[in-house]
Chain A
Amino acid sequence: MSIDWRALLTFEARYQLVRWRFVVMTVALSAFAVTMVATGYAADGIAVNAPAAVMQSLGLLSLWALFTQTIFTVHGALRDREHGMSALVEAQPIGRGTLTMVRAIGVVAAGVLAFGIATLVLLMTPQLPLVEAARVMPLRVDAYLIPLLTLVVPNVLLVSALLLLVAAIGRSTMATYVGAVALFAGYMLTALAVSSPLFAGGAPPTPDALARAAVLDPFGLSAFFEQSRYWTAAQREQSLVTLGGRYLLNRALWAAVAAGALAVAARLMHRVAPARRTPRTATEAAAAPASDVASRHPYRASRPSPGGAWAAWASAVRMELRLLVGSWAIRALLLVLVVVVSIEVLQNLGAGEYGTRLLPTSSEVARRALDPLSALGVIVLLYLAIDIAWRERAVRFDGIVDATPHGGGLRVLAKLAALVVLCAVFAALAATVGMALQIGIGGVAVEPLVYTAHAAAAVWPLALWAVAVGAAHAITGNRWAGLLAGLVLVITRIMGDSIGLEHPMTRFASAPMLRWSDFDGFGPSWPSFVALLAFWSAVALWLAVVAWGAWPRGQIASLRVRVGRAWRGDVPRWRTAIIVSTMLVTVGAVSLVRATWSGNAWRGQEATRQWRAAYEQRFRALHDRAQPRMQHVEVVVQLHPAERRAAVSGTVHLRNLDAQSIDTVWMWLDPAMQNATVRIGRAVGVQPDARFSMWAVPLATPLASGDSATLTYAFSVDRTRVTADGYDRALTTNGSYLTTDELLPLLGYNGRMELGDSATRARLGLGAATPQLQARAAAAEHLREIRRIGPTRAWMTARIVVSTDSTQHPLATGELRRTWSEGDRRFAEYMVDSLTPPRLGVLSGRYAVRRRAAGATTVEVWYHPTHTENVDRVLHAAVVALGELERRFGPYTLPTLRIVEVPAGWGFGAFALPGTILLTETRGMRLDPRREQVDLLLRRIGHEVAHQWWGGVVSPADVDGAGTIVEALAKYAEQRVVASVHGDSALAPMLAFDHDRYLVGRAQESAAERTLADAGFVDDYLFYGKAAIGFRALHDALGDSAMTAALRAFIAAERGPRGAATTDALRAAIDAHAATPATRALIAEWFDARVIHELVVDTATVQPRGARFHVVVRGHVDRVTRVGRGEEAHPASGAEVEVWLGSEYATAQGSWSGRVACDSAGRFTVAVTLDAPPTIVELDPRYLRVDPNRSNNRRAVVPLASGSDARAAVAARVQRW
């Protein structure tokens, strides 16, 4: 039979394209493209139309194929069934494969066209005045074309093919929706595996994991991320994705999967539906006269009662649930959820820093188990709502039901309730899977209440989504419009803040993220969470009521008509319900606005930027004005944890250490502080500036150089109120930690208020920001000043008196002098007797404590009474660290080292104050001690103990390089502590982590990369990442004793309040202990250069030589130098490379390691004769160099002989070994 393909395709194209749904989806995709450009998506520090930004944007856009192709597929593959045309179509002589092919082409073509138009919009948007001209680079069409052809189109094809397959198998829209959800889940899991930038992950992935995900990610983004992970800003603006390697493999693999799916779908799609075997019953067979039967069972009419609404609603809910539970698609969905939850839990438990494992505590497992619901759950609801809302119409049962008294709006309420119940089922299932996994892994008791709390917190917003997306269908009266309305709500929720919808009251079901702690449950954010979700519940109720009235019964009229009828009384009691629910929403909105907006002076991001800019414009002149320094502070803190309130008062002994006299003392208080009072004895008054929380205190007589004054202050902290942001755990019912900002006023100008982003500064009329650190070259005068009077961040002594509830322990920085009780309160007095950097902390919690002596020092660990697993390890780590670091850097000067556990949710893993280390619950105390590659506790404690010297004993000058002094040396010290316990080899996994951290940070650096000598306090990728490799390399080059001697000398020169440590001095100290010019060159390279290396093994062969084996390794090294935002590569002439030869099965005879120098072309050759044949060669196994591509550092050693027989013989001989 001849087939008129053109006619078939034309019909298909008309069916898919000349439809509102196509127009709406294309507009939605285009709007998303515009939003991405306007908000600078994937364009941090680069042009918005840079190839990498375009690639990532189009990759993200292509994920929308999960929605668009679902809709196109339902219309393409299931329309015969939906519209009762199956028999007509299937009876035609046209082949089933042909028809499926035509339908598939229609589905794919619709998607490709919609995405093509969106891509065009993405291309054109940068040319519009939505984006600053400075953020737009010249147009490169290939930057759009290549991702479109290699990412978007294949993704559309893949999603279409898989959904067509699912449709062919399931023959139902519901199955297709579940297929889309399963695809999304698959993507989520691969993204999770590689810490995709689209889904924030915990730890950086290993190269193996990256490679695995690069191949397996069905959407190909992971393959692109693998390629571009270390791209610099310049590369991201220049480079296109390479159509090779794993990217090509990925695309080929999934194209093949798509082709296979299409082929199978073609076979299945138009098979004749299998005959449904229905039992032939007595009824059909005998066909007894109805009247005979009826006479035996007389029908007695029972009159409907006017009420019965509840019974009808309950029956409808039961019916909906019955239909859901009976659906195999829902069962498949639950199975998908089980898989996702399991992987999410297991993956995250092993995704602690440095790949360490967390204890499977109930809170950690419950959090991870219920996390997927927030994204996956909403997507599931979007699809399920379609099916549930339009169920009766789909099966043509609507006529009967609509004609019943309770078959109208009440039914939509039942459907919404069923969706809500389904949410609860999802949460219960996720929690159950979590509990099962926790029991399976073992080690920590299951706490059902914690699971219940997490499940409730997950279900509540999800239930609101269920109501909203369900109601959207009833209100719009059209399933695709309903889906679109739901999608708009979801997108607004996710991306609303980028278009100015920042306040949680402007995005549906928005509420603070909750984080459980064993100390205080969900902590201070819980009241805000409850208040906001209560408001959104009122909104959801209102939507449900509108849906109830607007539910289309019979013929679908316009919304205005439907609501008008309901208002006029067609829907009993609706008018009352809508009035009451509207009032509820109004009252809720007004009270919440008062609480979160006006009550707490909430500002959006732009308002905050303008506020900070205004602060700078008004007060920047104070930056250079002399202000007195704090010499001694006496702080009294009355904590009331149960009420989350505190009263802070204090006396500060001030002294003018500058040459010029001071006529006004300026100070800044955290704006969250309330009821603040400030007084200085010799002041003529106090001039508070409430807008900026700035206080001016003019003095009656100027404070002359060397003169002193006393400042008294008081304020209160109240964290009881509902807020729209600022959900920190500073003041909580158990485990409070007040920082210096919450204990002391800041004297003078607060430079931290200045905006950092130069484009924003320019837009707001600000010049260059005040440098936090001065340039090293211009620091001479500054250093002289510091040496005369002490650092600008003045050192001081302190007395702190803390009181708290009698059930809690009051803790603070300093030495404990005494404790006492008064009434139901417990008091403690702490003293900081010797001059110390001005970092204070006050804590209160229901702690247990364990102590251990470490020489003259007592180590204390204050911990949650149930968190006992790691207490001894923490004590041991502290004792070891103190011993090792005292041996290297000199004595620890305080009698006590206090380690205090703080609740989960703080932004740090651990934090050092003088004499006190804070260790967070989830990132320290609750690590799984049974399985770990890196001894994270020892590393972390070692690092923080090292800060007692670096940042404690030695304070950096406020000049460039301060970050290196404090953090890089602590990093180095942590390595020495870990090596002292576990040996040098234990450093490799740590270094691999830091190596990646540097390369990723370097790639994301939008400004010029600083050197280690210039690293400031924000350059964490330098002082944690690069410095870890660099100082390890320097330690290796100088030797342990020389390095130790150099640092001791540095400490001796720079210690104390009049120290002014700089990286110049540090480098000089290390230089002084370098034995050779090569070592000094290496020091210079690490401190002053921005260099990485590309090490490559070109060939590695082994050949028998008598009874021994001759090995030849050839390779080359490139030195890659950072130039501006880009880099240049040249042969690394003279560079030294460490080479290791060995095998998986370590044998002494077959291993060798040594160093080899490169020739002027950067090439090297190693030729050694060994007793046994090595199988592997590896360059730089100990991470002495930064090498972005380490996959070519390692290579198999190939047996070598002339002729294939000889090669086989050699191979056999090598094999025998």
Chain B
Amino acid sequence: MLTITDLSVRYPGGVQALQGVSLSVDCGLFGLLGPNGAGKSTLMRTLATLQQPTSGAMHFAGEAIFDDPSAHRRRLGYLPQDFGVYPGISALALLDHLAVLKGLSDRAARRAQVDALLHQVNLWTDRHRAVSTFSGGMRQRFGVAQALLGDPRLIIVDEPTAGLDPVERTRFYNLLAEIGDNVVVLLSTHIVEDVRQLCTRLAILVGGRVVREGTPDALLATLRDRVWTATVARGLAIPEVPPPHRVLSQQRIAGAVRVRALATAAPSALFGPASADLDDVYLAALDEAGVAVAS
């Protein structure tokens, strides 16, 4: 459905935010992982037609997005990473207004959809409250509701769970999961857990480039038998991991330090084999891209 070909974005200040990004995304949830500054938001904003690419092409359902941005926006739902709202406007009024801007001109149908979305995101009882007074989770749910307005075929959610507590995060996952299978949902995050929970495919973006892409299983398969772990008590020396093996992470847990390493064989006697998870995939990708991942 969504094809991104050799996309580059360079900001006026000279920053190369994206460099030759190519992706092919089908229906379902697609995760976009990457550290801060990787270019995720730039990619999202470009897909949302909020900024022009320097070069490259983007097609959705076979149509070039920037050939008719207005038509693209009609099938787009966008939840930016950080958004505010007009002060003093109720959720109902604001959602209705956004529905009109989306092109839902049939009043009855619009009202029905707005009401349904407010129910769906569990804001119905607060529909007359100003969104500006909502808590972070409620506001994020409102953001999802507005992104779902107008039967979008492409939904872009940029860092949607940042700042949400576990309950709200779970609720948010459920919401996204309920979105139909005929829709492309592009989820940008730096939280691996988000992707693990939701996405059937993912890509890892580092320094404006795609360094990994595939299904979680396929990506995990690339690390099969290569992840090793060691746990040492506090105060003891952290075991050495000689090159070319690399430390993926060092995590302090209950007074001990757990070290995970990427190696074709056990780096030392202290290490035992471990099953790879997406965190390892992500960290390995970062490590390969030259981003310091462990200290």
Contacts and interface: CB of A to CB of B under 8 A. Distances in A.
A304 to B, nearest CB: 3
A449 interface: no
Interface in A557-572: 557, 561, 565, 569-572
Contacts of A303: 150-151
B271 to A, nearest CB: 42
A276 B100 contact: no
B113 A291 contact: no
B87 interface: yes
Interface in A268-314: 276, 278-279, 281-284, 287-291, 293-294, 296-308, 311-312, 314
* Interface of B, helix, strand, loop or mixed by DSSP: helix
B231 interface: no
A304 B79 CA distance: 18
A404 B113 contact: no
Interface stretch (B125-133, B189-197, B258-266, B279-287): B125-133
Interface string A378-408: 0000000000000100011101111111110
A571 B174 CA distance: 37
B101 A283 contact: no
A299 B102 contact: no
Contacts of A302: 104, 106, 109-110, 112-113, 150-151
A554 B48 contact: yes
A557 to B, nearest CB: 7
A570 B82 CA distance: 26
Given A289-B171, A291-B174, A322-B89, A307 B73 contact: no
B102 to A, nearest CB: 5
Contacts of A925: none
Contact of B49 (A312, A315, A403): A403
Given A290-B122, A293-B124, A323-B86, A279 B129 contact: yes
A399 B74 contact: no
A21 to B, nearest CB: 19
B151 A308 contact: no
B74 A281 contact: no
Nearest to B152: A301
Contacts of A294: 119-120, 178
A400 B102 CA distance: 10
Contacts of B78: 399-400, 403
B101 A287 contact: no
Contact of A308 (B50, B82, B105, B167): B105
A296 B102 CA distance: 25
Interface string A1151-1178: 0000000000000000000000000000
A286 to B, nearest CB: 9
B146 A400 contact: yes
A319 interface: yes
Given A304-B103, A406-B100, A395 B70 contact: no
Contact of B151 (A304, A397, A404): A304
Interface string A537-574: 00000000000000001110100010001000111100
A484 B85 CA distance: 28
Interface residues of B, number: 69
Chain B CB within 10 Å — which of A300, A308, A316 has the most? A308
A689 B106 CA distance: 71
B88 interface: yes
Interface in A692-743: none
B60 to A, nearest CB: 14
B250 interface: no
Contacts of B115: 297
A244 interface: no
A291 B115 CA distance: 15
B148 interface: yes
A293 B100 contact: no
Contact of A400 (B70, B80, B100, B175): B80
A1203 interface: no
Given A283-B125, A323-B89, A395-B84, A553 B102 contact: no
Contacts of A322: 89, 93
A399 B171 contact: no
B199 interface: no
B138 interface: yes
A407 B97 CA distance: 10
A308 B126 contact: no
Contacts of A288: 122
A326 interface: yes
A305 B103 contact: yes
Nearest to A307: B105
A283 B45 contact: no
B117 A319 contact: no
B52 A557 contact: yes
Contacts of B167: 287
A569 B69 CA distance: 9
Contact of A304 (B80, B102, B137, B138): B102
Contacts of A411: 101
Interface in B171-217: 171, 174-175, 178
A406 B101 contact: yes
A550 to B, nearest CB: 15
Contact of B103 (A402, A405, A569): A405
Contacts of B171: 287, 289-290
Interface in A308-352: 308, 311-312, 314-316, 318-319, 322-323, 326
B122 A396 contact: no
B118 to A, nearest CB: 8
A397 B84 contact: yes
A315 B100 contact: yes
Contacts of B103: 304-308, 312, 404-406
Contacts of A569: 68
Given A291-B174, A323-B88, A298 B98 contact: no
A308 B134 CA distance: 30
B116 A297 contact: yes
Nearest to A322: B89
A570 B49 CA distance: 10
Contact of B100 (A287, A306, A311, A555): A311
B121 interface: yes
A306 B105 CA distance: 10
Contact of A291 (B73, B98, B178): B178
Nearest to A298: B116
Interface string B127-164: 00100011101100101001010110000000000000
Interface of A: 276, 278-279, 281-284, 287-291, 293-294, 296-308, 311-312, 314-316, 318-319, 322-323, 326, 391, 395-397, 399-407, 411, 553-555, 557, 561, 565, 569-572
23 contacts: A283-B125, A290-B178, A297-B120, A298-B116, A299-B116, A299-B117, A300-B112, A301-B113, A301-B150, A306-B103, A312-B105, A315-B101, A319-B93, A326-B89, A395-B84, A397-B83, A400-B79, A400-B146, A401-B101, A403-B48, A554-B51, A565-B52, A570-B69
Given A303-B150, A553-B49, 6 more contacts: A297-B116, A300-B112, A305-B105, A396-B83, A403-B50, A554-B48
- Which 4 A-B pairs have CB atoms at the shortest separation, nearest pair first? A554-B50, A301-B151, A304-B103, A297-B119
Interface of B: 45, 48-52, 66, 68-71, 73-76, 78-80, 82-89, 93, 96-98, 100-106, 109-110, 112-113, 115-117, 119-126, 129, 133-135, 137-138, 141, 143, 146, 148, 150-151, 167, 171, 174-175, 178
